[in-house]
Amino acid sequence: MTASPTEDELQAGFDATIGRNDRIEPRDWMPEGYRKTLVRQIAQHAHSEIIGMQPEGNWITRAPSLRRKAVLLAKVQDEAGHGLYLYSACETLGTSRGELTEKLIAGAQKYSSIFNYPTLSFADVGTIGWLVDGAAICNQVPLCRTSFGPYGRAMIRICKEESFHQRQGYELLMTMMRGTDAQRAMVQESVDRFWWPALMMFGPPDADSPNTAQSMAWGIKRNTNDDLRQRFVDMTVPQADALGVTLPDPDLRWNEERGAHDFGQPDWDEFLQVVKGNGPCNAQRLAHRRRAHEDGAWVREAAMAFARKSREQEASA
């Protein structure tokens, strides 16, 4: 038996693992800041998947055909699964899912601002798949290589399923664009509403994102917010052309010199307002989640009572 290592030796071991681009696993020693940053980021990510079920779930009962309903159900069920993969990753850091849920419904932890916007027409189901899941894919693909093992593995699982989400949305919009003038107008109106909030999903500009440098040094984040936003715009422009919709940004144009699109900035004051809880649907989303949690309490308790009773019966048999 050797003497237990000092804090400096532990830190050096951790730094060496990160330096080798190796993964940190749950039972490794890690700096408290690393653990806290991960819990905050993974929890926020998990909550986004769970709250993200609501805007689309809104349309399940009113989907225009059985096919669209089945697809939408499967998609929303996937998002529940994504939330659970991520809660499971977060639990390896010593924070229980119940604790995280309570923090969410108390408003003490955040979720992505995008889900505080309403879904006013069925075209929004398509636009969300195309733009919102599209932006999520941009964010999530690099996270498959994040330095914390369980988080990266959850992201790999999630990314495998996201491509279905984006494609079903795009196909839905294509179908509507082949329809009547009124349907085409619905698609354009929906894209107009979701374009800027989708760009906000990458977070504030790098200059206003003080934690990015540390997160990148730790290998938690692999790209800056502005890098990912640029990548998303460049990917999306040709998709918009093929669809026949206009992205609502007068400053959007190809920059030959940069080999990338120039584009305008979202309204960052609006973003801050939504993050602070003042978006169009913040109160509704949290109230719904809280109600679901409280209304489900008796089911959780009954299942525990049933399990206890079955064990007792087995023991006495």
Residue 296 makes contact with another protein by CB under 8 A: no
Residue 79 makes contact with another protein by CB under 8 A: no
Beta carbons within 8 Å of 101's beta carbon, 6+ residues apart: 293
Residue 258 makes contact with another protein by CB under 8 A: no
Q: List the single partner that 287 binds among another protein, Fe ion, none, CB under 5 to 8 Å by kind.
A: none
Task: Extract the tokens encoding 299.
Answer: 């089911």
Of the ranges 140-148, 189-197, 240-248, 307-315, which one interacts with another protein (CB under 8 A)? 307-315
Quick one: which of 33, 64, 98, 296 contacts another protein (CB under 8 A)? 98
C-beta of 21 vs 180, nearer to another protein:
21
C-beta of 91 vs 162, nearer to Fe ion:
162
C-beta of 77 vs 278, nearer to another protein:
77
Residue 86 phi, psi dihedral angles, 5° rounding? -75, -40
Provide the binding-site residues for Fe ion, judged by CB under 5 A: 49, 79, 82, 133, 162, 165
> Pattern of binders to another protein over 175-204, x per CB under 8 A?
------------------------------
Residue 91 makes contact with another protein by CB under 8 A: yes
C-beta of 48 vs 190, nearer to another protein:
48
**β-bridge partners, 262:** 253
Q: List the single partner that 165 binds among another protein, Fe ion, none, CB under 5 to 8 Å by kind.
A: Fe ion
Residue 88 makes contact with another protein by CB under 8 A: yes
Sign of CA dihedral 103, 105, 106, 111: positive
DSSP 8-state class, residue 248: S
The H or E element that residue 63 is part of is none
CA-wise closest residue to 44 among 5, 95, 119, 1: 95
Residue 265 makes contact with another protein by CB under 8 A: no
Per DSSP, the residues of 30-50 read --HHHHHHHHHHHHHHHHHHH
120: left (phi over 0), alpha (psi -120 to 50) or beta: alpha
Size of the site for another protein (CB under 8 A): 33
Three-state SS letters, 66-132: HHHHHHHHHHHHHHHHHHHHHHHHHHCCCCCHHHHHHHHHCCCCCCCHHHHCCCCCCHHHHHHHHHH
The H or E element that residue 261 is part of is strand 260-262
10 Å Cβ neighbour count for 140? 19
CA-wise closest residue to 229 among 134, 147, 128, 114: 134
Quote the least distance from Cβ 87 to another protein, whole Å: 9
Residue 9 makes contact with another protein by CB under 8 A: no
128-167 residues in contact with another protein (CB under 8 A) are 150, 153-154, 157, 161
C-beta of 112 vs 147, nearer to Fe ion:
112
The residues of the shown chain that bind another protein, judged by CB under 8 A, are 25, 27-29, 74, 77-78, 81, 84-85, 88-89, 91-92, 96-99, 102, 150, 153-154, 157, 161, 300-301, 303-304, 306-308, 310-311
